[in-house]
């Protein structure tokens, strides 16, 4: 329903999809499995053959359990002549069946309703009496204490009346969807807001391949609606916008006007920023996990839990660069030991640089709140943090290669395009924060040999983050000399 072309490509050309964000996928799997504990003792009907869902067996087994009156089914499958639906949880009641559609988000969203309505429709066509339909999602206000309490972790939304109202809309859409299914080629759909709403399409890389450099799609911070409005008007590239005379907000115009020109260097402002720093100078970066299902006492869904840090530091002006790092052991709450290691590693008089320090401030603030006995020293560290992003966010230093962005992943390759030692692409196994989170969470589930390799990959990734900060700081120092 989001885009017929996306649907056709997912069936016929799945290899054209962009790389998947496994964080969302992993959270979804864990949430779905945990939600089954709301109705324990059910039968799981998810079967696979050659890595794919075995629909035929799922349908056969579901029919057998419906016939037997099994009270609770997980992944029950139902089909009409041309439709198939799979229910996350199906519960038998005296007045019919209840469908529970489980989502890993923290709220009920309209986009979930067609999914639930489709299940209701298919089950009704299969002569299954559905008494109620629920969308079940995470309760972000839940705080774990002791054993996980599924009944507190999840909230149920009765959407029965709503989906009965949109049932006709779903019925109306099905013939068009089936027409797309049997098409010999992809439908001709122009790129527009449906590429990103309600979900970012996994085929954007394919469908946007005709877009060249310096287009409106590179403009950092542009509103989605405006971006596609400009595209539809033919104002696709920076030169088109300049020629039209249209005026966008200042930061966008600065990015457009800087394209192809030399770097913006406000040396006095850079110097003023550097003058706020002092020795010993520390460069700090955390990596965290934020599981939807809280793992440790006192934590909530999606709370950022620090699992490691890297510190590069220079004890005094002119002295050698040093490094210390910490990666928590897997399988236990990492926070207290990490807090102690952080306190031991950073002297009270240190100047600390972070990149986008709001994140480090939040992590340290949470640690101070969780462990009051360490709060004074943790808050002292927090109070000494300076933000290395400032010269780039305020565009004291800006180049076209940064593409309007100030994140370290944009600034670093722009400043050091040919330095292979500073390339995240050259790392093994872990290349970004999401991969780091997934890698740490996997440590309890993999073989010891792979576990040690994964831990090394995690350390290498976090170490590069702080080394990158050192090199960026050095670059700022060099441009004002």
DSSP per-residue codes, 131-148:
EEEEEEEE-TT----SS-
- Which of 131, 136, 126, 127 has the alpha carbon at shortest distance from 164? 131
CB atoms within 10 A of CB 140: 15
Q: Backbone phi, then psi, for 46, in 5-degree steps?
A: -85, 115
Tell me which residue has tokens 């639930």.
Answer: 116
For residue 271 the two structure tokens come to 């110097």
* Per-residue CA distances from 24 to 152, 218, 291, 435 (Å): 22, 25, 10, 11
Q: Residue 225's pLDDT is what?
A: 97
Specify the 3-state DSSP secondary structure of 157: strand
pLDDT beyond 80 at 168: yes
* Per-residue CA distances from 208 to 145, 199, 308, 335 (Å): 47, 16, 37, 43
Q: Residue 179's pLDDT is what?
A: 93
Q: Residue 52's pLDDT is what?
A: 87
Q: Residue 22's pLDDT is what?
A: 72
Q: Residue 19's pLDDT is what?
A: 86
Q: Residue 30's pLDDT is what?
A: 92
Residue-level length of the chain: 481
Q: Residue 419's pLDDT is what?
A: 96
pLDDT beyond 80 at 23: no
Q: How far apart are the first and last CA of the chain?
A: 58
Between strands 305-314 and 281-289, the pairing is antiparallel
Going by pLDDT thresholds of 50, 70 and 90, the confidence category of residue 150 is: very high
Spatial CB neighbours of 117, under 8 Å, sequence gap ≥ 6: 133, 163, 166, 167, 169, 170
440, 234 contact by CB (below 8 A): no
Measured between alpha carbons, how far is 237 from 211 in angstroms, rounded to an integer?
9
Q: Where are the beta strands (DSSP E) in 28-108?
A: 43-44, 48-49, 52-53, 72-79, 84-93, 96-102
Q: What share of the chain is helix, strand, coil (3-state, %, to 5)?
A: 45, 15, 35
Residue 125, burial from CB neighbour count under 10 angstroms (0-12, 13-18, 19+): middle
Q: Residue 51's pLDDT is what?
A: 82
**For residue range 423-434, what is the model confidence (pLDDT) as tens digits?**
999 999 999 999
pLDDT beyond 80 at 21: no
CA Rg value for the chain: 26
Enumerate the β-bridge partners of residue 135.
101, 157
pLDDT beyond 90 at 92: yes
* Per-residue CA distances from 31 to 36, 85, 106, 429 (Å): 9, 20, 11, 25
Please compute the mean of the pLDDT values over residues 346-350 and round it to a whole number: 96
Tell me which residue has tokens 């035929």.
Answer: 56
Tell me which residue has tokens 């999401």.
Answer: 434
Going by pLDDT thresholds of 50, 70 and 90, the confidence category of residue 475 is: very high
Residues 195, 200, 206, 210: what is their CA dihedral angle, to the nearest 10 degrees?
A: 50
- Which of 414, 413, 390 has the alpha carbon at shortest distance from 400? 414
Q: Residue 445's pLDDT is what?
A: 92
High-pLDDT (> 90) share of the chain, %: 93
Please report the sign of the dihedral spanned by the C-alpha atoms of residue 248, residue 251, residue 256, residue 258: positive
pLDDT beyond 90 at 25: no
417, 283 contact by CB (below 8 A): no
**For residue range 99-138, what is the model confidence (pLDDT) as tens digits?**
999 999 999 999 999 999 999 999 999 999 999 999 999 9
**For residue range 220-229, what is the model confidence (pLDDT) as tens digits?**
999 999 999 9
pLDDT beyond 90 at 261: no
Please compute the mean of the pLDDT values over residues 6-25 and round it to a whole number: 89
103, 135 contact by CB (below 8 A): yes
pLDDT beyond 80 at 46: yes
42, 72 contact by CB (below 8 A): yes
Structure letter (DSSP) for residue 293:
S
pLDDT beyond 80 at 375: yes
Measured between alpha carbons, how far is 122 from 449 in angstroms, rounded to an integer?
47
Element (H, E) at 176: helix 160-181
Q: Residue 95's pLDDT is what?
A: 96
391, 270 contact by CB (below 8 A): yes
- Which of 456, 466, 401 has the alpha carbon at shortest distance from 427? 456
pTM higher than 0.85, yes or no?
yes
pLDDT beyond 90 at 310: yes
Q: Residue 228's pLDDT is what?
A: 98
Measured between alpha carbons, how far is 213 from 454 in angstroms, rounded to an integer?
36
- Please give the mean pLDDT across all residues of the chain: 95
């Amino acid at each position: 329903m989001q885009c017929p072309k996306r649907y056709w490509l997912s069936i016929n050309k799945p290899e054209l999809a962009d790389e998947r964000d496994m964080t969302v996928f992993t959270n979804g799997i864990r949430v779905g499995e945990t939600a089954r504990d709301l109705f324990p003792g059910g039968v799981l009907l998810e079967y696979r053959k050659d890595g794919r869902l075995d629909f035929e067996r799922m349908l056969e087994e579901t029919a057998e359990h419906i016939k037997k009156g099994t009270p609770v089914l997980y992944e029950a499958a139902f089909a009409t002549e041309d439709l198939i639906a799979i229910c996350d949880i199906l519960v038998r009641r005296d007045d019919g069946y209840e469908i529970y559609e489980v989502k890993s988000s923290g709220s009920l969203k309209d986009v979930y309703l067609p999914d639930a309505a489709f299940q209701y429709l298919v089950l009704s066509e299969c002569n299954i009496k559905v008494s109620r339909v629920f969308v079940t999602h995470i309760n972000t206000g839940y705080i774990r204490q002791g054993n996980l309490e599924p009944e507190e972790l999840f909230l149920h939304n009765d959407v029965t009346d709503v989906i009965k109202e949109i049932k006709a809309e779903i019925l109306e859409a099905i013939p068009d969807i089936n027409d797309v299914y049997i098409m010999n080629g992809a439908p001709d759909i122009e790129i527009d807001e449906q590429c990103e709403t309600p979900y970012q399409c996994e085929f954007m890389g394919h469908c946007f391949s005709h877009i060249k450099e310096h287009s409106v799609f590179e403009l950092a911070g542009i509103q989605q609606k405006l971006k596609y409005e400009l595209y539809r008007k033919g104002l696709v590239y920076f030169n088109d916008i300049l020629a039209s005379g249209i005026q966008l907000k200042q930061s966008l115009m600065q990015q457009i006007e800087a394209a192809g020109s030399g770097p913006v260097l406000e040396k006095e402002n850079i110097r003023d920023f550097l003058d706020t720093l002092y020795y010993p100078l520390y460069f700090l970066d955390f990596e965290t996990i934020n599981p939807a299902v809280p793992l440790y006492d006192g934590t909530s869904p999606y709370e950022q839990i620090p699992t490691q840090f890297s510190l590069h530091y220079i004890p005094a002006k002119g002295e050698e660069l040093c490094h210390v790092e910490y990666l928590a052991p897997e399988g236990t709450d990492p926070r207290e030991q990490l807090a102690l290691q952080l306190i031991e590693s950073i002297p009270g008089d240190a100047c600390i640089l972070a990149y986008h320090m709001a994140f480090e401030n939040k992590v340290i603030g949470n640690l101070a709140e969780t462990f009051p006995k360490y709060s004074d020293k943790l808050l002292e560290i927090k109070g000494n943090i300076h933000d290395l992003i400032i010269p780039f966010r305020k565009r004291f230093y800006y180049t076209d290669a940064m593409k309007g962005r100030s994140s370290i992943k944009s600034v670093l390759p722009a400043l050091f395009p040919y330095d292979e030692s500073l390339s995240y692409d050259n790392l093994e196994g872990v290349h970004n924060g999401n991969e780091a989170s997934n890698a740490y969470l996997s440590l309890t589930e993999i073989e010891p040999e792979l576990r040690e390799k994964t831990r090394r990959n995690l350390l290498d990734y976090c170490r590069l983050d702080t080394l990158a900060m050192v090199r960026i700081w050095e670059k700022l120092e060099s441009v004002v000399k």
